Amino acid sequence: MAETDTLEFLIRKLERHTTLPEADRRAILDLPVHARSVPPATYLVREGEPPANCVILSSGFAFRHKIVESGARQIVSLHLPGDALDFQSLFLRYADHNAQTLTRADLAVVPIAAMRELVSTRPLVARAVLMDLLIEASILREWVVNVGRRNARARLAHLLCEFACRMDMIGLNEPDGYALPMTQEQIGDALGLTSVHVNRSIKALSQEGLITRKGRLIGFPHIEQLREVGDFSELYLHLHETIA
């Protein structure tokens, strides 16, 4: 995907919630940007380092995580194509978390100074970025509830429902399901479970007929029942919230 295509993708994402005039769209398209392709497990943000760039996913998947003293990792968010990974660092001196690619990824990299200038001079763009950050915070709150208050089966069902919903939102749904870009270890790090427990939960949902599996391709033959198991409501994703 060309750099301009990625910025168009970003504009579409921002305009889900805030209508931008043509001048603001053009200002986004005029951002200085260069493309990078990186393998899985590439660090895009490192905790404790000052942010230099705003990275936008053109293709592939990424995640944010924290590592505790024991070396254990907690994945705190999952990111899809079109997501900007450094909006959180626009006005902070240092990153407070890590971000890595889950898969091979194509990136559009914008200098953080240029992005700061954009949001400082374009109020509607700033509001759109704020909306994006508020929705990220809403998703994070739901992830805290998921890890803290749901059982293993419900946690997994909820994560799968969210992934399907967000993939639908950006038009990356497939006829037979979704290629889940996470290993069982990574799913466990997102849900606070061991790989063994994740494997058992996947088998349980499969045996109940709530999901189908073919490699990493997950199908949802009974999505409403899966939503009930996961206590899933898309309210926290704010899919239809728009400010003119």
Tens of pLDDT, residue by residue over 203-216, are 999 999 999 998 88
Rounded CA separation 165/2 (Å): 26
Q: How confident is the model at residue 240 (pLDDT cuts 50, 70, 90)?
A: confident
Task: Find all residues with CB under 8 Å of 40, minimum gap 6, and list them.
Answer: 101, 102, 103, 104, 105
**Pairing mode of beta strands 53-59, 105-111:** antiparallel
Residue recorded with tokens 């990792």: 73
CA distances from 121 to 74, 78, 115, 124 (A): 36, 30, 10, 9
Spatial CA neighbour of 97 closest among 75, 78, 70, 112: 75
Q: Tell which residue, 28, 160, 19, 10, has the closest CA to residue 81.
A: 10
Torsion-angle region of 82 (φ positive above 0: left; ψ -120 to 50: alpha; else: beta)? left
In which band, very low, low, confident or very high, does the pLDDT at 28 lie, cut at 50, 70 and 90? Answer: very high
pLDDT at 1 over 70: no
- Calculate mean pLDDT across residues 27-35: 95
Is a pLDDT exceeding 80 seen at residue 200? yes
Asked whether the CA dihedral 54, 58, 60, 61 is positive or negative, the reply is positive
Average pLDDT over residues 59-68: 97
Asked if the model's pLDDT at residue 2 lies above 80, the reply is no
pTM of the model: 0.94
Please, what sign has the CA dihedral across residues 108, 102, 178, 220? Answer: negative
